């Protein structure tokens, strides 16, 4: 099994350089269901930044809570590696709880850690996920960041909206990796 580590860090100011026009994924998923958007990414893209807005929340009679999940992935089947940022309504309404995790082929859990704070008290919140060539994925929600290692640079991003209606307005971009930056934008 691959070595995985998760740590919580104070959210540093991270320079995000947009490299694509903003897109909006709208979802209206019945309770217990989800709708999905996905796309491929490659160098120099190494980050996704988004604003989430919920307009309708699922009923508290379902076991599924309203929320979004952002996956970054590489590979398929038994060789798939992924990191997942899940942001879900705490009690079927705002605020939202967040967690970051990693897995191999969505069956071998490499570790999950919850963010300490909550976000989106009025149904709107932001997130930033970035990754590097070594497969370290950093997710920032509010003033808190977590890091997980998926072991490779992802090539696919997937956004799911579940048990409610809303939108995710997002853009792809680049966050400098310092000396290790193997995927710099062309000036």
Mean pLDDT for 63-91 is 92
9, 146 Cβ separation under 8 angstroms = yes
- Round to the nearest angstrom and report the end-to-end CA distance of the chain: 40
Which one of 3.40.50.620, 3.30.70.20, 3.40.140.10, 2.60.120.200 gives the CATH number of domain 7-176?
2.60.120.200
Against a cut of 0.85, is the pTM above it? yes
Residue ranges per domain, the chain?
Answer: 7-176
Q: What is the C-alpha separation between 31 and 162, in angstroms, rounded? A: 7
Mean pLDDT for 151-162 is 94
- Give how far Cα 168 sits from Cα of 14, 28, 35, 102, Å: 21, 12, 12, 22
pLDDT bracket for residue 77 (50, 70, 90): confident
Secondary structure percentages of the chain, helix, strand, coil, to 5: 5, 60, 40
What are the φ/ψ torsions at residue 131 (nearest 5 degrees)?
-145, 160
H/E stretch holding 39 reads: strand 23-40
pLDDT bracket for residue 184 (50, 70, 90): low
For residue 32, count other CB atoms closer than 10 A to its CB: 12
> Which residues, 6 or more positions from 25, have their beta carbon under 8 angstroms from its beta carbon?
37, 159, 161, 167, 168, 170
Q: Name the DSSP class of 119.
A: B
**89-111 confidence digits (pLDDT tens):** 988 889 999 999 998 876 777 88
What are the φ/ψ torsions at residue 84 (nearest 5 degrees)?
-135, 130
DSSP lists the bridge partners of residue 68 as 87, 161
Q: What is the C-alpha separation between 147 and 11, in angstroms, rounded? A: 11
């Amino acid at each position: 099994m691959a070595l995985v580590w998760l740590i919580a860090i104070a959210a540093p100011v991270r320079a995000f350089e947009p490299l694509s026009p903003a897109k909006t994924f709208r979802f209206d998923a019945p309770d217990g269901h989800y709708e999905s958007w996905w796309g491929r990414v490659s160098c120099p893209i190494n980050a996704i930044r988004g604003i989430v807005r919920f307009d309708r929340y699922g009923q508290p009679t379902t076991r599924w809570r309203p929320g979004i999940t952002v996956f970054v992935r590489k590979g398929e089947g038994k060789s798939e590696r992924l990191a997942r940022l899940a942001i879900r309504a705490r009690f079927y309404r705002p605020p939202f709880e967040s967690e970051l995790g990693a897995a191999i082929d969505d069956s071998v859990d490499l570790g999950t850690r919850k963010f300490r704070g909550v976000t989106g008290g009025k149904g709107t919140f932001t997130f930033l996920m970035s990754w590097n060539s070594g497969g370290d994925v950093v997710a920032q929600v509010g003033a808190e960041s977590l890091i997980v290692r998926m072991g490779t640079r992802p090539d696919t991003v997937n956004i799911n909206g579940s048990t409610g209606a809303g939108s995710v307005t997002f853009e792809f971009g680049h966050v400098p990796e310092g000396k290790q930056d193997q995927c710099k934008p062309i000036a």
